[in-house]
Amino acid sequence: KTIPTPKRDEAKSAKMYAARSFDVNQPGIPPEKIVGGVLGGSLIQGRLRVGDEIEISPGRQVTVGNKTEWKNLTTSIRSLHSGGGARKEVRPGGLIAIGTNLDPVLTKSDGLVGRVVGPPGTLPEVVMKMTVEVNLLKRVVGVPEELKVEGIKTSEPLMVSVGTATTVGVVTSARENRADMGLKIPVVADPGQRVAVSRRIGGKWRLIGHGVIK
């Protein structure tokens, strides 16, 4: 059997999950030759072209008065690369690299991993809490002994993977197959999106189940 290729809709607004981010400038480069940061990831729908305006969400954390909040970033595409070569336009499938006009300080050392990229105003909502319909596995993944997965408990921390984003959520309410969580770091997510759920066991995060955002 073969794994079918997912169908991608190029007519929809572009959406990309950022799996990496880089500063490609070499140390000691003259200021006039510095180029903007680079985002790498997978385009899951739509198309992107050189010159397009893009929004990056949830962006970066800023302090306003006595509060901290997350502010989306906007920039333009200065270059596109896919399959080892430069492109004027990219479509869904495979990995792409987007050269931007962002300050490379923001993108260095995977600083924007987990963000979602698309045209301004088209991205899903940034959420700080979510309800997940959870399907627990019978056994914990990644441990040498067979360890049964116990039910989710109120107040326990769980790691949730949404797209390329990973965040820790504290369970505020646990029911038989649902968990309400408050997130320590916000994510961009749609209702119906699938997530992976992990629990800290033996000092490491171990996969215990998967779920759907409600």
Segment holding 121, helix H or strand E:
none
pLDDT at 34: 95
* 19 plus 114 within the same structural domain: yes
Domain that holds residue 177: 126-213
Distances 160 to 84, 126, 177 between C-alpha atoms, Å:
32, 15, 15
* 114 plus 158 within the same structural domain: no
Domain boundary among 84, 118, 152: 118
Length, in residues, of the chain: 214
pLDDT at 144: 83
In a domain, 7, yes or no: no
* 135 plus 75 within the same structural domain: no
In a domain, 6, yes or no: no
Convert 185-212 to b/e letters by CB count within 10 Å (16 or more is b): ebbbbeeebebebbbeeeeebbbbbbbe
Residue 93 pLDDT grade (very low, low, confident, very high; cuts 50, 70, 90) = confident
Q: Per-residue pLDDT averaged across 25-50, rounded?
A: 95
* 165 plus 85 within the same structural domain: no
* 76 plus 139 within the same structural domain: no
Which domain CATH number covers 23?
Answer: 2.40.30.10
pLDDT at 109: 95
For 161-193, the pLDDT digits (tens) are 999 999 999 999 999 889 999 999 999 999 999
* 111 plus 200 within the same structural domain: no
The Cα 130–Cα 188 span in angstroms is 11
Q: Bridge-partner residues for 118, per DSSP?
A: 55
For 99-139, the pLDDT digits (tens) are 999 999 999 999 999 999 999 999 999 999 999 999 999 99
* 167 plus 196 within the same structural domain: yes
> Are 21 and 54 spatial neighbours (Cβ–Cβ below 8 Å)?
no
* 47 plus 114 within the same structural domain: yes
In a domain, 80, yes or no: yes
Give percent of the chain above pLDDT 90.
84
In a domain, 183, yes or no: yes
What is the count of structural domains for the chain?
A: 2
In a domain, 4, yes or no: no
